Chains A and B, each alone.
Chain A
Amino acid sequence: MKVLMHLALYVGQGLQRTELIAFAAPLIAALADRLTLIAPITETSALVEAMAQIQPADHIQVQRWCQENHFTTTILTAIQHDRPDLLLIPAFGARTTPMSWRWRRLELNLLGSLSIPFLRVHGRIKPIRQIALASAGGAQSLRSVPLISQLARVWQAEITVMHVVSQELLYFDGFPSSPLTEATALRVDEQTRVLLQQIVVELHRQGISARLQVLNGLVEETIIAECQHYDLLVIGSHQAEPDPNLPPSSWLWLLQRISLQDVTRNLLDRSPIPVLVV
């Protein structure tokens, strides 16, 4: 079933602005009933330009957000004001030059503070046919299924639910070519196994072709390496939920939050393909 949504698109200057608009246009045509175009106050002409390039259908309610000077504050205020269902943004800083380090840091800090799903269009952009949904086995992955399946339907893409186990198995046992079977890896954690299978079942129910893939290796390195075979990477929002039973104000919650590695940030920083953060 097609559910129309409120999309937001940043059309100000960015590294791959042209690619972003080309990427976003079919998505807007297929999914949007509301569209917010965002640009800093210094780039009002970008809004007009983007409108001409996208040419949204008449039924789409278009809104232009042109406030603040800096891209970070422009995006944050637009999001707070409009609360779109999905934000589409380009990459702002290149990873290759040391000069852009500060710029990139600002961008990653912004992405870390976004409270809505966003799709960052950068790196190698191809028609989306293969989607990798990286899941650590948290309930958040399951909650992201409706949005992902909606997008996959538009792109007619297949989804691979990817889970990485960073432990090794089998030793002195003749070393089979594949060191880890799915069943053995998931035997360690029943809860994770159930949840991952639930995600696949749920995607099937939504009419999406999906499969489960369990890999063995270092989490970030393995996901980045696997990205070569996919067109879009889907990951959970910044930092895993430490403990849903703890109130966000408690010191233990804060301690867990500080001590956890921000895998989302690292993947956003290193991914060679567009990333959807849910």
Chain B
Amino acid sequence: MESPPHREQSPASPIVAEELLPEQLERAETAVTRPMTSDPLRRHWRTISQRLAYAVSGILIFVLALELLKRGAASYGHMLVAWLDISSVTSALGFGWLLAYIFLSGSPVAAIAVAFFASGAIDGLQTFTMITGSRLGASFIVLFVGFLYHLRGHRRATSVAIGVLALLTTAAIYLPALALGFWLLSSQLVGVIDAQADSPLSSIIDLVIDPIVHVIAVILPEWSLLIVGALTLLGAFSLLDRSIPDVPGGQSVFGKAGQLLYRPIVMFLLGAAITSFTLSVSVSLSMLVPLTVRGIIRRENALPYIMGANITTFIDTLIAALIVGGAAAFTIVLVEMVCVAFFSLVVLLFFYRSFARAILGLQDFIVSSTGRLIGFLGVMLIAPLLLLFVRW
């Protein structure tokens, strides 16, 4: 019997596992376990379906988290609010601001504010200021991401300075919007807008979410629902982030776009559009960091982008308000959104040049000295803490 033909090994082919770097090893293992998809179309569809799956599960978990928060807030939200003594609109502002620092994002905090309102833990005006606080704190993430980029060896000033710019722009628009919105709500000039989450969403909640919430509420102690709800909310946002296509960055994609100056209104609309897609100002603004570090977006372009992003970031809070808070919560969020949009458009249409000069000049002033920067960061940390203890 003839022996089977001997297949010779190429002298270059043998690879000993020890010689591989851990990441190479991981890649090799992945290649073995996953079948190779040679067809780019199939790969493309697989990516799309993966993202769709992330989006759908993200939305369902988002709704689940809101229901858990609502239940947790009903039992322990009052206690937490009483313990921290969130008895005034200013303390609610500070609370939302600080909580956004902890979550490194504003959206979960805004959703928590709505859940607290729905359970009666805080009133309408406190909800309004807590949401504003969450947005002020959310800009901190850009500074944080900038700092991470710096740690990863990117040029520092660009990445950190964009964080300072985001904080300043948000404060410059949100503070007057806060005053206007507060006046509109407290003087009851705006009636409760009748809006409801329509039947498909309600049926999903009734059919899928409610039984899960019921099971969780039976298994877990009541006090933990608030924490579990908050963690689930973070998980939901993480899934929603994964459903977003990768951010195109680098000269190869944008060509010479980095050298061009775009009209402020164009960047404003772009910021608004991208944020309405990502649903989170943190994600949208953080996208600016890699783009700017690589020299893709000029500082002039970043400012109106941030202004646009700051408006559509309320979309997810509007949805959350509809799901757990009803028409009253929806009205509060809508008033906030309209006030921010009003001031942004006034600035953009009438005073953009002087506004940009003032904000970018202030940014220059802050980042051009270590002392001033540390002072600025100190103010950003201390301000919400102080507000937390103001009883007005």
In the complex, A57 has a CB within 8 A of chain B: no
- For the complex, give the distance between the alpha carbons of A30 and B357 in Å: 43
The answer to whether B160 touches A171, judged by C-beta atoms less than 8 angstroms apart, is yes
- For the complex, give the distance between the alpha carbons of A174 and B371 in Å: 11
Chain B residues whose CB sits within 8 angstroms of the CB of A58 once the complex forms: none
Q: How far is the CB of B211 from chain A (nearest CB, A)?
A: 49
In the complex, B263 has a CB within 8 A of chain A: yes
Q: Mark B348-379, 1 if CB is under 8 A from A, else 0.
A: 00000000110010001001111000000000
Chain B residues whose CB sits within 8 angstroms of the CB of A179 once the complex forms: 157, 368
The answer to whether A168 touches B157, judged by C-beta atoms less than 8 angstroms apart, is yes
Chain B residues whose CB sits within 8 angstroms of the CB of A259 once the complex forms: 262-263, 266
Q: Which listed residue, A171, A219, A258, touches B157 by the CB 8 Å rule? A: A171
Q: Which listed residue, B156, B251, B357, touches A172 by the CB 8 Å rule? A: B156
Residues A167 and B292 in contact in the complex (CB < 8 Å), given A137-B259, A219-B298: yes
Total chain B interface residues with beta-carbon distance under 8 A: 32
- For the complex, give the distance between the alpha carbons of A190 and B260 in Å: 16
The answer to whether B261 touches A260, judged by C-beta atoms less than 8 angstroms apart, is yes
In the complex, A24 has a CB within 8 A of chain B: no
The answer to whether B261 touches A219, judged by C-beta atoms less than 8 angstroms apart, is yes
Q: Mark B138-161, 1 if CB is under 8 A from A, else 0.
A: 000000000000100001111011
The answer to whether A169 touches B299, judged by C-beta atoms less than 8 angstroms apart, is no
The answer to whether A136 touches B259, judged by C-beta atoms less than 8 angstroms apart, is yes
Chain B residues whose CB sits within 8 angstroms of the CB of A173 once the complex forms: 156
Chain A residues whose CB sits within 8 angstroms of the CB of B364 once the complex forms: 168
In the complex, B300 has a CB within 8 A of chain A: yes
In the complex, B235 has a CB within 8 A of chain A: no
In the complex, A1 has a CB within 8 A of chain B: no
Q: How far is the CB of B256 from chain A (nearest CB, A)?
A: 8
- For the complex, give the distance between the alpha carbons of A114 and B259 in Å: 24
Closest to A137 in B: B259
In the complex, A242 has a CB within 8 A of chain B: yes
- For the complex, give the distance between the alpha carbons of A143 and B300 in Å: 27
Q: How far is the CB of A133 from chain B (nearest CB, A)?
A: 16
- For the complex, give the distance between the alpha carbons of A137 and B367 in Å: 27
Closest to B374 in A: A172
The answer to whether B259 touches A260, judged by C-beta atoms less than 8 angstroms apart, is no
In the complex, A261 has a CB within 8 A of chain B: yes
Chain B residues whose CB sits within 8 angstroms of the CB of A260 once the complex forms: 260-263
Q: Which residues between 221 and 278 of chain A lie within 8 Å of chain B, taking CB atoms? A: 221, 240, 242-243, 258-261, 263
Q: Mark B326-364, 1 if CB is under 8 A from A, else 0.
A: 000000000000000000000000000000110010001
Q: How far is the CB of A92 from chain B (nearest CB, A)?
A: 23
Chain B residues whose CB sits within 8 angstroms of the CB of A171 once the complex forms: 150, 156-157, 160-161, 367
The answer to whether B259 touches A170, judged by C-beta atoms less than 8 angstroms apart, is no
Closest to A240 in B: B260
Residues A219 and B300 in contact in the complex (CB < 8 Å), given A168-B158, A171-B161: yes
Q: For the complex, would chain A's binding face be called helix, strand, loop or mixed by DSSP majority? A: loop
Q: How far is the CB of B11 from chain A (nearest CB, A)?
A: 40
Closest to A173 in B: B156
The answer to whether A175 touches B299, judged by C-beta atoms less than 8 angstroms apart, is no
Q: For the complex, would chain B's binding face be called helix, strand, loop or mixed by DSSP majority? A: helix
- For the complex, give the distance between the alpha carbons of A169 and B263 in Å: 24
In the complex, B258 has a CB within 8 A of chain A: yes
In the complex, A63 has a CB within 8 A of chain B: no
Q: Which residues between 163 and 184 of chain B lie within 8 Å of chain A, taking CB atoms? A: none
- For the complex, give the distance between the alpha carbons of A243 and B314 in Å: 35
Chain A residues whose CB sits within 8 angstroms of the CB of B120 once the complex forms: none
Q: Mark A170-212, 1 if CB is under 8 A from B, else 0.
A: 1111110001000000001101100000000000000000000
The answer to whether A166 touches B150, judged by C-beta atoms less than 8 angstroms apart, is no
Q: Which residues between 261 and 316 of chain B lie within 8 Å of chain A, taking CB atoms? A: 261-264, 266, 292, 294-295, 298-300
- For the complex, give the distance between the alpha carbons of A260 and B255 in Å: 15
In the complex, A51 has a CB within 8 A of chain B: no
- For the complex, give the distance between the alpha carbons of A109 and B294 in Å: 35
Chain B residues whose CB sits within 8 angstroms of the CB of A166 once the complex forms: 298-300
Q: How far is the CB of A229 from chain B (nearest CB, A)?
A: 21
- For the complex, give the distance between the alpha carbons of A169 and B256 in Å: 20
- For the complex, give the distance between the alpha carbons of A261 and B295 in Å: 18
In the complex, A218 has a CB within 8 A of chain B: yes
- For the complex, give the distance between the alpha carbons of A169 and B299 in Å: 12
Chain A residues whose CB sits within 8 angstroms of the CB of B263 once the complex forms: 258-261
- For the complex, give the distance between the alpha carbons of A59 and B140 in Å: 70
Chain A residues whose CB sits within 8 angstroms of the CB of B298 once the complex forms: 166-167, 219
Chain B residues whose CB sits within 8 angstroms of the CB of A167 once the complex forms: 157-158, 292, 295, 298-299
Closest to B371 in A: A175
Residues A218 and B299 in contact in the complex (CB < 8 Å), given A169-B155, A259-B266, A261-B263: yes
Residues A175 and B370 in contact in the complex (CB < 8 Å), given A166-B298, A167-B299: yes
Q: Which listed residue, A137, A138, A170, touches B156 by the CB 8 Å rule? A: A170
What 6 A-B pairs have minimum CB-CB distances, sorted nearest first? A171-B157, A171-B156, A188-B295, A259-B266, A261-B261, A168-B157
18 A-B contacts (beta carbon < 8 Å): A166-B298, A168-B158, A168-B364, A169-B155, A170-B156, A172-B156, A174-B370, A179-B157, A189-B258, A218-B357, A221-B357, A240-B259, A259-B263, A259-B266, A260-B261, A261-B261, A261-B262, A261-B263
- Tell me the B residues contacting A by CB distance below 8 Å: 150, 155-158, 160-161, 251, 255-256, 258-264, 266, 292, 294-295, 298-300, 356-357, 360, 364, 367-370
